[in-house]
Amino acid sequence: MTRSNVIAAAGAYVSEGKFLSDLQERLSIPSESPREDSGPDHLRYLNEQMRPLLEGMGFSCQILPNPKLERIPALYAERIEDPALPTVLTYGHGDVLWGMEGDWKEGRSPWDATLVGDRIYGRGSVDNKGQHTINLAALEIVLKERGSLGFNVKVLIEMGEETGSPGLAEMAETHSDLFKSDVLIASDGPRVSTHVPTVFLGARGGHGFHLICDLREGAHHSGNWGGLLPNAGIRLAHALATITDAKGRIAIREWTPGKIPENVHAALKKIELEFGPEDPETDPTWGEPDLVGPEQVYGWCNFEVLAYTCGRPEAPVNAIPGTAKATCQLRYVVGVDRERILPALREHLDAHGFQDIRIEPMARGFFRATRTDPDNAWTRLAVGSITETTGREPALQPNFGGSLPNEVFAETLNLPTIWIPHSHPSCSQHAPDEHVMVSVAKEATEIMAGLFWDIGEGKLQQ
């Protein structure tokens, strides 16, 4: 029983084609969670793909009903070898966004795992079926080599992440004793670059809202009323212009953390972002002055106007619009008080004379900012294990740039959260031609097998 045997078996799982065949079975189930009739496909994925695999590894399994949206259940599984041993909770989501069939290049189907060179195309190949397939395969490889894991494992596979994980927080609250663990180790999102293994410890928060200027019903002829009636579109544009300067720097103090913690700053200084030939050109003068790429994306906050409507954009007429609406979002990090985001905005608008601008919270689009301490013992173990497996120190992201339901694990369950992504920046997730790179998948399976081996060896040091 050796670590090197486990690493070799993990690499062979991908290079000899088993990963591709497993992925084909899982991608063939069109588990699109935004689709209203997707319930049977979600159950197929959990009962036909996850349950047999986990039960074959000695896990007990049960389907957890969703208290908020019935068609989006979850599967919970556990293998308890000894209550005195550490317990790892791992997570994945088996749902996907729309397949967008017909929009994929070369006639590829989103529901097939299509191998082309170093890429495997298919909806869910990275988000997230491919990623939790890698993690479960790594667990199975360690189990076969050692005969036991050497630690306890609990598995949660939900089917609603792509629709905002409705019901997940309620499940965690209801089943907190069931989910009780020492750490979350899971995979989602991309690495910072294709060839740099990555560990991230949380996620930025997301807070969505609408700004509405509603001055009057209907529109009035601009020739007869121009100069007499305020224009809702102009009022709203000027209100938005007070929130940031012309280069996107946020003007509302409570919408920023004030400063980046030293250990977070030190980790970000080591990260280099990767951009592909099809990616847009970035502007180093955009955002908070004196912060560079990784610091802007992972260490700071950004305000975005996602949509703006005024009048009839599809058929403009010579009339002064009475209403205008902007759909907005704040991405924020730990250090920003979520409960003060909208009150601080209200105070800011009022102070600038925009009492006529109404704030309307979005029904969805809320994620809390979370971040595990970079000096946590589980972080040190993960970084050390990945370095031993790959010969390279991984990039350590204090938090992911996007949003995940990490608050469920970090706050509701009060766990340190370790995310090890198996995708790459140009993977086209959520778009046609989503793909996983075979070379990344091979290294990722080796990384996870090595980490699970090291946990079972008792290498965690507080």
Six-digit token pair at 277?
């030939």
All residues at 6 or more sequence positions from 297 whose CB lies less than 8 Å from its CB, including other chains = 273, 401
Rounded CA gap, 128 and 10, in Å?
19
DSSP for 177-221 reads HHH--SEEEE--SB-SBTTB-EEE-EE-EEEEEEEEEE-SSS-EE
Rounded CA gap, 361 and 366, in Å?
10
- Residue 278's pLDDT is 77
User: Residue 218: how many CB atoms within 10 A of its CB?
Assistant: 9
Six-digit token pair at 321?
């619009």
Spell 30-69 as b/e; 16+ CB within 10 A means b.
bbbbebeebbebbbebbeebbbebbeebebebeebebeeb
Rounded CA gap, 50 and 57, in Å?
11
Rounded CA gap, 194 and 293, in Å?
17
- Residue 365's pLDDT is 62
DSSP for 380-449 reads HHHHHHHHHHHSSPPEEESSBSS--THHIIIIIS---EEE---B-TTS-TTSTT-EEEHHHHHHHHHHHH
Are the C-beta atoms of residues 295 and 272 closer than 8 Å to each other? no
DSSP for 92-143 reads EE--BS---TT-SGGG--TTS-EEETTEEESTTSSSSHHHHHHHHHHHHHHH
CA distances from 260 to 219, 254, 290 (A): 47, 14, 12
Q: What is the DSSP letter of 283?
A: -
Are the C-beta atoms of residues 73 and 63 closer than 8 Å to each other? yes
Rounded CA gap, 236 and 215, in Å?
11
In this structure, are strands 183-186 and 370-371 parallel, antiparallel, or unpaired?
unpaired
All residues at 6 or more sequence positions from 153 whose CB lies less than 8 Å from its CB, including other chains = 59, 78, 79, 87, 88, 89, 90, 139
Angle between helices 18-27 and 3-15 (to 10 degrees): 60
- Residue 461's pLDDT is 80
In this structure, are strands 395-397 and 198-200 parallel, antiparallel, or unpaired?
parallel
Which residue from 240, 244, 218 is spatially nearest to 229, judged by alpha carbons? 218
- Residue 106's pLDDT is 96
All residues at 6 or more sequence positions from 381 whose CB lies less than 8 Å from its CB, including other chains = 451, 454, 455, 459, 460, 461
Six-digit token pair at 192?
């910072």
pLDDT tens digits in sequence order for the chain, 462 residues long = 799 999 999 999 999 999 999 999 999 999 999 999 999 999 999 999 999 999 999 999 999 999 999 999 999 999 999 999 999 999 999 999 999 999 999 999 999 999 999 999 999 999 999 999 999 999 999 999 999 999 999 999 999 999 989 999 999 999 999 999 999 999 999 999 999 999 999 999 999 999 999 999 999 999 999 999 999 999 999 999 999 999 999 999 999 999 999 999 999 999 988 887 878 899 999 999 999 999 999 999 999 999 999 999 999 999 999 999 999 999 999 999 999 999 999 999 999 999 999 999 998 767 889 999 998 999 999 999 999 999 999 999 999 888 789 999 999 999 999 999 999 999 999 999 999 999 999 999 999 999 999 999 999 887
Rounded CA gap, 346 and 330, in Å?
14
CA distances from 4 to 9, 35, 275, 292, 441 (A): 9, 44, 33, 39, 18
Rounded CA gap, 108 and 115, in Å?
10
Six-digit token pair at 96?
């996907």
Q: What is the DSSP letter of 32?
A: B
